[in-house]
Amino acid sequence: MNTLACQYAEQCAGCPWIKTKYSDQLLQKKTALNLALNSQGIETPPTELLSIQTHEIRDRVDLTIKNVLGQMRVGFFNAESKEILDIEFCLQMSPNLNLWYQEFRKALPPINQGSVRLRVSPNGERGIWLDFANLDVKNLLEEKTWLSALMGKATVEIGQKRKVLGIKEDRLRLLDSEPKKWFETYDANGLPIPIYSAIGGFTQTGFAANKKLVATILDFAKSTKLTEWTELFCGSGNYTLALASLGYNVTATENDELALSGLAASLKDHPDFKIEVIKANAYSNSGRPEISMTEGLLVDPPRSGLRQLIDQIGALNVDSRPKAIIYVSCFSDSFSGDCARLISLGYRLE
């Protein structure tokens, strides 16, 4: 397929690959991964590239709002000037998300600058998370009109604590939030399992990509023949719930309160799932489940990678180490370095 005909392709920093033919994108990404591995002295194993579609892949999007000389802009950064590029229509948003974005654009808030996350749930419900300065939030609550109108269009979360906008005693209030079904994971048959989360909580960016990602994780897990898994950095349970749907025993570790509350809500819908959730810092030995007690280890660390966790695995007796490690990564540099260290412990990269 040729490149997408996006009117913002020359300026927008949101899609750095958009001017590259899709077939070339896949080749370049595979080459970049191979080079990262080769730089660590790792011979590249056979690599499968998984593709979904070239556009309309986002069901949530993070945007910046800015007042520029009295004109409100909402969109992504300009690749050259670092100013905000006002985006009227984005080819990467799903149809439902683009409809929600068009509605939101009609009346932007009277602020100088802030960030928003727009999200649509699997059943089409609209949500928005506003990350504005405290003074802007205070002024909007007192002004009432803009926030009241927004409440008529979507569920509204505000601030780092993801408080939900509501009405109490006839006044706009910021109330404690309850996780809702904003996302979904999938069982081995590809059937959806709802994930409860905050609108501003972390999930993958779209349903289609996540479905293929989860299917890949389950294929790897089944190929190991292992049924006991420890998962570190489990978030709201994207892989936790999927693994448990196979009948596996899963011990899941997460430190983020919002993610844990979402996972707890999801588990109420699946009392048959064999999942133990532990609140702990995955990098610390304190409170975290013993890695030596697990058969399989699933990790999805931040960009910094596994860090001292590999030393902790290496300190174990060889027979006590995880028999298989499934490693999900969004950053090839830390991933390739971690792979080299794990290979030095006797693991083999597939």
Question: Residues with catalytic annotation?
Answer: 330
Distance of CA 221 to the CA centre of its chain: 21
Q: Do residues 197 and 210 touch, judged by C-beta distance below 8 A?
A: no
* Cα distance between residue 217 and residue 244, in whole Å: 12
Residues β-bridged to residue 278: 253
Length of the chain: 350
DSSP three-state, residue 23 = helix
Q: Do residues 74 and 64 touch, judged by C-beta distance below 8 A?
A: yes
Contacts (Cβ under 8 Å, ≥6 apart) of 325: 296, 297, 298, 299, 342, 347
Q: Do residues 266 and 241 touch, judged by C-beta distance below 8 A?
A: yes
Q: Do residues 339 and 40 touch, judged by C-beta distance below 8 A?
A: yes
* Cα distance between residue 115 and residue 113, in whole Å: 7
* Cα distance between residue 348 and residue 340, in whole Å: 10
- Quick one: DSSP state of residue 293? G
* Cα distance between residue 265 and residue 202, in whole Å: 16
Amino acid in the structure at residue 137: V
* Cα distance between residue 24 and residue 279, in whole Å: 42
* Cα distance between residue 242 and residue 150, in whole Å: 34
